[in-house]
């Protein structure tokens, strides 16, 4: 399990190693066709900032060699905001006296129908709060069963499950799972997740192993940028985790995310660091140079200008016309959102813009499109 591997990777030493990276370390990493985690740290370090244009060119080249000029499109659907956790940064936390919504099977199907009216989406991400009693495996299985009538690629972003539960959901038609570790800094993890199942660091961290053991087709990972002051260290830990998973579950496809926290507008949780647009670009370039095969995803929490600029420079998956509240497409369009969407364009507007930028939006699972691309090489 990766939580055991992580015990051998010091947060403090990793932070220091990144800070000590030199111009020579960066140039050495840029000269390699395959990078290890040490090279990744160099590319992620402040020493690499003068080389961002070179990194951007490499990121574009590796992306087009591996994925062509396609952009896989998906849409999230929040089916419940019931949650038993107390994450200090999340509006869905259990102490928040908000109305809780649990969509019925009929309401879920109405959401699916509404989504299909927006664009020819074939890839959907079902999202829930983490509540075992109200959003457990039977509820998810029913939502997946209905989704199969409308979508060819079904993923979930839910609480970490047991391996046998992931296996059960794959038998219902589940294709992939997305789970954010949020932060790999174990010593601080419970400051942000004090109560609920999410307070169990090892259970969440080892959930990715359980996904691999269950034969889940694709696994998505991410750290929440802003929880920790040293975002570079957290992203490096995710790179260690990615390499570990690729070694142990090599049949699985992987994706990574860099969701950025914004300053709270009220008395809510304030990020411990703010990742700039330039730093987001650097992290994206570094990840693509580090791993030519991993899917890099940008959600609509990023503004349109960032998504437009990065769509040719490493990003391979995007959400579009997202609603981040339960039933947001049809049933409850005005409900409380989990976070603020920055890219408010319609899916059709995003499709048009991507084509103007030389990308071909792919509405079905990108795996099939990519396999076809590879067979022609």
Is the pLDDT assigned to residue 289 strictly greater than 60? yes
Q: Which tokens in the block code for residue 358?
A: 């030389």
What are 28-59's pLDDT values in tens digits? 999 999 999 999 999 999 999 999 999 999 99
What are 220-252's pLDDT values in tens digits? 999 999 999 999 999 999 999 999 999 999 999
What are 137-171's pLDDT values in tens digits? 999 999 999 999 999 999 999 999 999 999 999 99
What are 1-10's pLDDT values in tens digits? 999 999 999 9
Nearest residue to 227 (alpha-carbon basis) of 276, 287, 185, 268: 185
Following CA atoms 368, 176, 76, 280 in sequence, which dihedral angle do they give, to the nearest 10 degrees? -90
Q: What is the CATH number of the domain that holds 249?
A: 3.20.20.70
Cβ atoms within 10 A of the Cβ of 355, count?
Answer: 12
| pTM, rounded to two decimals | 0.94
Average pLDDT, the chain: 93
| CB distance 318 to 360 below 8 Å | no
Nearest residue to 362 (alpha-carbon basis) of 61, 145, 152: 152
Is the pLDDT assigned to residue 365 strictly greater than 90? no
pLDDT of residue 367: 46
| CB distance 376 to 131 below 8 Å | no
Q: Which domain holds residue 366?
A: 2-375
pLDDT of residue 339: 59
Separation CA 182–CA 119 (nearest Å): 31
| CB distance 226 to 189 below 8 Å | no
Domains of the chain: total:
1
Is the pLDDT assigned to residue 366 strictly greater than 50? no
What are 45-97's pLDDT values in tens digits? 999 999 999 999 999 999 999 999 999 999 999 999 999 999 999 888 888 77
- In degrees and rounded to multiples of 5, residue 83 shows phi and psi of -150, 140
What is the bridge-based pairing of β-strands 317-319 and 70-80? parallel
């Amino acid at each position: 399990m990766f939580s055991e591997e992580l015990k051998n990777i010091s947060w403090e030493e990793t932070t220091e190693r990144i800070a000590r990276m030199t111009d020579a370390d960066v140039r050495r990493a840029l000269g390699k066709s395959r990078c290890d985690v040490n090279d990744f740290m160099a590319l992620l370090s402040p020493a690499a900032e003068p080389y961002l244009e070179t990194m951007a060119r490499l990121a574009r080249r590796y992306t087009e060699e591996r994925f062509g000029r396609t952009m896989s499109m998906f849409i999230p659907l929040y089916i419940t905001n019931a949650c038993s956790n107390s994450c200090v940064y999340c509006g869905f936390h259990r102490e928040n006296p908000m109305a809780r919504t649990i969509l019925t099977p009929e309401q879920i199907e109405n959401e699916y129908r509404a989504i299909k009216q927006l664009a020819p989406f074939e890839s959907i991400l079902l999202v829930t709060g983490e509540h075992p009693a109200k959003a457990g495996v039977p509820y998810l299985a029913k939502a997946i069963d209905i989704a199969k009538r409308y979508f060819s690629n079904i993923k979930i972003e839910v609480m970490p499950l047991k391996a046998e539960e992931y296996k059960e959901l794959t038998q219902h038609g589940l294709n992939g799972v997305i789970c954010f570790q949020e932060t790999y800094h174990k010593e601080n993890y419970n400051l942000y997740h004090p109560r609920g199942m999410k307070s169990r660091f090892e259970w969440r961290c080892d959930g990715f192993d359980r996904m691999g053991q269950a034969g889940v087709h694709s696994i998505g990972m991410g750290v929440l940028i802003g929880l920790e002051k040293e975002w570079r260290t957290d992203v490096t830990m995710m790179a260690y985790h990615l390499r570990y998973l690729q070694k142990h579950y090599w049949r699985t496809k992987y994706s990574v995310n860099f969701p950025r926290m914004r300053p709270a507008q009220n008395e809510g949780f304030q990020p411990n660091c703010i990742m700039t647009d330039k730093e987001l670009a650097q992290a994206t370039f570094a990840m693509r140079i580090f791993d030519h095969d991993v899917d890099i995803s940008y959600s609509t929490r990023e503004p349109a200008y960032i998504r437009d600029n990065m769509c040719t420079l490493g990003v391979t998956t995007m959400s579009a016309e997202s609603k981040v509240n339960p039933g947001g497409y049809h049933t409850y369009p005005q409900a409380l959102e989990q976070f603020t969407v920055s890219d408010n364009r319609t899916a059709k507007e995003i499709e048009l813009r991507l084509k103007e930028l030389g990308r071909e939006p792919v509405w079905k699972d990108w795996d099939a499109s990519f396999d076809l691309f590879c067979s022609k090489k």
